[in-house]
Structure 1
Amino acid sequence: MTWARDRRIAAAAGAAYVLGMVVLVAGPWGWWLNRLTVRLYTLFRYDVPIAPDWALPEHYGYLLNVLLFVPVGAALVAVMRWPWWWATGVATVASAAIEVVQWLWLDREGSWHDVVANGLGALLGAALARLVVSPRAPRR
């Protein structure tokens, strides 16, 4: 019974994450996301000065893009039991597709920097999941 409950919780969390991703990447949030990166920059540069001198607001945007795709890589390895390299590749291609859609049809600016950052996030998530999930663990 616990396995079925855990599976339902994982499915609900996955659905919420996908819905959140769709809202985030498809919505007109570009200006607010830029404000967020500037706020993070000023927070860690001046209010809580722990950031290195070379860190610029763009770097916080890259970091947010990395963090956005860590769960994707982790889920593809942990849940789908895909190899880390396959999960990273699929997530990077999905990121590229998102950026193309943003560039062509949405009021957003698609960027290859975002694709690289998302791919790095997927790689980190896949690597972390690979460390936690045994490669020979049976699929349920």
Structure 2
Amino acid sequence: MGNVGWLRDSRLLAALTVAYVVALGVVVTGPWGWELNRLTVDLYDRFRYDWPIAPHWVGPEHYGWLLNVVLFVPLGALAVVLTRAAWWWVVAAAALTSGLIELAQWEWLARVGDWHDVVANTLGALIGAVGVSLLRRRGSPPAGRPARPRRR
């Protein structure tokens, strides 16, 4: 299977996709505002005081932003793998998806929709989509040359 063989395992991709979509749905629609707030403060305390590795200017809101980035990395990666679309199409679709999620949170859910979250989510999708695209490119033969069989 090589370096990127896991990208071709349809059962694994199906399981990862289902798990991610369910988790994303739970995270973005649930009444988790207080819990997510507490998580960002806990991360701040941990990296500021327990393991003092964070710069002094980093506050709890930065951890919330980072969590929004991380939330959409799998979306970008899985969308490139499953649709075989160009990374930039996936990022555009992720930005639209994030915008719709934030609109729904603001309009109908007991959550606060924020355009900063759209930016963070889009960045996460960009990281996932470009990362998988680079892995694929690295694992495929150069254009115009047939792949050589690997020696065992």
- TM-score, normalised with respect to structure 2: 0.84
Structure 1 segments of 4+ aligned residues over 6 angstroms from their partners: none
2:20 is aligned with 1:17: yes
Instruction: Tell me the residue number matched to 1:48.
Output: 51
Which of 121, 124, 141 does residue 121 from structure 1 map onto? 124
Distance (Å, rounded) in 2 between the aligned partners of 1:37 and 1:136:
37
- TM-score, normalised with respect to structure 1: 0.90
Structure 2 gap ranges (5+): 1-5, 141-152
- 1:130 is paired with a residue of what secondary structure? helix
Change (3 A) 1:135 1:48: closer
Q: Deviations over 1:59-94 (max 9, x none)?
A: 000000000000111111122111111110000100
Q: Is residue 78–residue 133 contact of structure 1 (8 Å, CA) maintained in 2?
A: no
Instruction: State the structure with more CA Rg.
Output: 2
Which of 87, 95, 100 does residue 97 from structure 1 map onto? 100
Identity of aligned residues (%): 57
How many residues are treated as equivalent by the alignment? 135
Q: Which amino acid aligns with 2:69?
A: V
- 1:93 is paired with a residue of what secondary structure? helix
Q: Deviations over 1:14-55 (max 9, x none)?
A: 111101111111100000000000000000000000111111
- 1:79 is paired with a residue of what secondary structure? helix
